[in-house]
């Protein structure tokens, strides 16, 4: 399972990088990068890597940086996006790992929520400022940062819930053991 998480982690980052400059305007406020939809899974996927030890998580981050930088260069993605992505991943993932590691004795949900609370804003701010400074207005960049953080938190919350836990809670709450049918007609 660890390698499935690793591949999903690396691929999610790469797809997010391909879609970094495609935006969806939100109806209330904000401009959501289409890449954010994929990148929102990155932090929680990295948290899954952490289940196999900090060393494995750090190896995963290193592989993701190397693969994504190499593929981005091959596909001629603009250099400002490559630098922004590299630095945002480096800073945010190391921050995420540091928080996750400090809370290793705590519940899965707490570790994911706390580590995302730190890493998501770091990623969104670093990525947006480096990728779009001088290309977009300050107001546009604030709208992107706002929408990215909001979307990443919402998507991360959906990933936190593990299917086996939902099933277990559902069974405890709603599924009552069947009693043997009693014959009401003697």
Per-domain residue ranges of the chain:
2-174
Question: Whose structure tokens read 């007609």?
Answer: 185
Distances (CA, A) of 55 to 62, 66, 67: 11, 17, 18
Half-sphere exposure of 125 (CA within 13 A, CB side): 7
- Phi/psi for 136 (5° steps) reads -125, 160
pLDDT 10s digits, 31-77: 888 888 877 777 778 878 888 988 998 999 999 999 999 999 999 98
- Record the tokens describing residue 109, joined without a space: 């949900």
CA angle 8-14-16, nearest 5°?
100
Q: Is the pTM of this model over 0.85?
A: no
* Confidence bin at 126 (pLDDT 50/70/90): very high
Regarding the domain delimited by 2-174, which CATH topology (the fold level of the hierarchy) does it fall under?
Answer: Arp2/3 complex 21 kDa subunit ARPC3 (1.10.1760)
């Amino acid at each position: 399972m660890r390698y499935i998480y690793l591949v999903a982690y690396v691929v999610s980052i790469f797809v997010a990088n391909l879609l970094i400059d495609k935006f969806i305007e939100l109806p209330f406020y904000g401009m959501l990068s289409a890449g954010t939809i994929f990148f929102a899974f990155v932090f929680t996927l990295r948290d899954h890597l952490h289940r196999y030890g900090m060393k494995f998580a750090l190896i995963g981050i290193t592989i993701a940086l190397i693969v994504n930088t190499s593929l981005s260069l091959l596909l001629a993605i603009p250099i400002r996006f490559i630098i922004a992505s590299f630095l945002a991943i480096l800073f945010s993932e190391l921050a995420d790992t540091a928080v996750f590691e400090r809370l290793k004795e705590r519940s899965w949900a707490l570790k994911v929520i706390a580590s995302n609370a730190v890493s998501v804003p770091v990623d969104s701010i670093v990525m947006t400022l480096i990728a779009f400074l001088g290309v977009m207005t300050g107001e546009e960049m604030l709208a992107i940062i706002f929408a990215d953080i909001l979307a990443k938190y919402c998507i991360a919350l959906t990933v936190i819930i593990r299917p086996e836990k939902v099933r277990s809670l559902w069974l405890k709450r709603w599924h009552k053991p069947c009693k043997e049918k009693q014959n009401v007609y003697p």
